[in-house]
Amino acid sequence: MYTLQELSDRAEIQDLLVAEASAMDLREWARWEACFTPDAEIDYSGNDGAAGRPAVVGAWLAEVLGRFHSTQHLSSNAEIALDGDRARARTMQYIAVKMETSQDVRVVFSGIWFRDELVRTQAGWRIAARVEELAWRHNFPADFRPPAR
């Protein structure tokens, strides 16, 4: 049985993961960056993305997502393992993107997994390390490539 503190920690971590996804869709980059520790190591290379600190990856995300009409990042199935002021999470994210190609406007989909290391800070829980793993893509144009990292 979870303690009251563990229930609170799990809820705060889930709120953080939702806030991070929402910040991407709303293009609120300062809010997105605040979900991470300043020295967090982010690795999106498993999905042809950037790797580095939040400021670097955030700038890359702003460029990538700025190319699309709209996005929806839906986070779910968070498996959270607490260890005092540290935690690990594995979270599924389902992403729908409306994009324009040379032939049409289409909606594409992808499924990814995030493997996160989290720490409790004075400001609350933050992501200290993240690795993105691509599970699948659907309806992307054959010539689709994200901007260079």
33 DSSP assignment:
H
The domain locations on the chain are 4-138
Give domain 4-138's CATH number out of 3.40.630.30, 3.10.450.50, 3.40.50.720, 3.40.50.300. 3.10.450.50
User: 């580095």: which residue's tokens?
Assistant: 52
Instruction: Kindly state the helix (H) or strand (E) to which residue 105 belongs, with its residue range.
Output: strand 105-121
**What is the per-residue pLDDT across 21-74, written as a single tens digit (0 to 9) for each?**
999 999 999 999 999 999 999 999 999 999 999 999 999 999 999 999 999 999
Q: What is the pTM of this model?
A: 0.94
Answer yes or no: are the C-beta atoms of 105 and 68 closer than 8 Å: no
According to DSSP, the residues that pair with 130 across neighbouring strands are 42, 116
Find the Cα–Cα–Cα–Cα dihedral 108, 111, 117, 119, rounded to 10°.
Answer: 60
